[in-house]
């Protein structure tokens, strides 16, 4: 396939229509994107060469213009020196450079138009590549959504894969252990609260006189120890 034919094919491509014509549109788009990237790389090289050629000819044009001006100056000096022979030679060389200048101007104009066309085509190809990548991303998202819906439909129809019952059994056993531990902790808390209440009750049942005597006895023991 020729280079410019590839450019034409890329710029005229309708990815939505192409996707509908293939059994695996995602694969088709990926292949198209690879080919477009290769074509863009080639087009970039071609455009760079055209621009470089234009620059080279521009420098050559300026060199011949300068040479033409120099020979014109030499012809003037030869005339002033009354040297017609030298003046004729200088004018002949000047005319040679002027012919080259005219030819180079035409070539540079054509080269400028060619490089301009290549630059515009390259920009259009890059835009087309971006479009293809967007279409691929959209297509991939649609495919994932379709696969997910298909999976849900299969599960609803009883076609879901078998579930590992062992995992649920382990979870139930762990849950039972946790609940047992929580129940034991609550029971211990209740027992502590009951014991504390009983002790307080026992203290409440001691007559006030006995409490005073006990306190006085304790004070007396402290004095005796001293």
**Whether 67 and 104 share a structural domain:** yes
In terms of pTM, does the model score above 0.75?
Answer: no
DSSP letter at 177 equals H
Distance of CA 196 to CAs 74, 128, 141, 177, 189, Å? 127, 84, 67, 29, 11
DSSP letter at 82 equals T
Q: What percent of the chain has pLDDT over 90?
A: 25
Q: Which of 130, 156, 182 is the last residue of a domain?
A: 156
Higher pLDDT, 201 or 33: 33
Indicate if the pLDDT at residue 111 is higher than 70: yes
Average pLDDT over residues 41-63: 91
Instruction: Sort 98 into a burial class: Cβ within 10 Å, 0-12 / 13-18 / 19+.
Output: middle
Instruction: State the DSSP string of 123-154.
Output: HHHHHHHHHHHHHHHHHHHHHHHHHHHHHHHH
Q: What is the distance between the alpha carbons of residues 136 and 124, in angstroms, rounded to a whole number? A: 18
**Whether 134 and 193 share a structural domain:** no
**Whether 17 and 51 share a structural domain:** yes
Identify the domain containing residue 213 by its residue range: 174-225
Say what the pLDDT of residue 18 is. 56
**Whether 143 and 181 share a structural domain:** no
Higher pLDDT, 28 or 15: 28
Q: For the chain, state the CA radius of gyration.
A: 50
Say what the pLDDT of residue 130 is. 86
């Amino acid at each position: 396939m020729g280079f410019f034919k590839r450019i034409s094919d890329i710029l005229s491509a309708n990815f939505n229509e192409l996707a509908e014509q293939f059994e695996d549109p995602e694969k088709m788009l990926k292949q198209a994107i690879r080919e477009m990237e290769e074509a863009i790389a080639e087009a970039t090289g071609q455009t760079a060469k055209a621009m470089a050629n234009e620059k080279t000819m521009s420098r050559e044009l300026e060199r011949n213009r300068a040479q033409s001006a120099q020979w014109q100056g030499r012809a003037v000096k030869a005339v002033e020196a009354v040297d017609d022979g030298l003046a004729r030679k200088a004018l002949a060389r000047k005319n040679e450079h002027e012919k080259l200048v005219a030819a180079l101007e035409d070539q540079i104009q054509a080269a400028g138009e060619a490089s301009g066309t290549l630059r515009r085509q390259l920009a259009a190809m890059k835009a087309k590549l971006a479009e293809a990548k967007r279409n691929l991303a959209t297509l991939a998202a649609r495919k994932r959504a379709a696969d997910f819906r298909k999976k849900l439909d299969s599960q609803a129809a009883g076609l879901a894969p078998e579930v590992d019952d062992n995992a649920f059994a382990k979870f139930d056993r762990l849950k039972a252990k946790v609940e047992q531990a929580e129940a034991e902790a609550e029971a211990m808390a209740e027992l502590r609260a009951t014991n504390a209440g009983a002790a307080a009750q026992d203290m409440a049942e001691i007559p006030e006189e006995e409490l005073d005597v006990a306190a006085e006895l304790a004070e007396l023991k402290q004095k005796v120890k001293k």
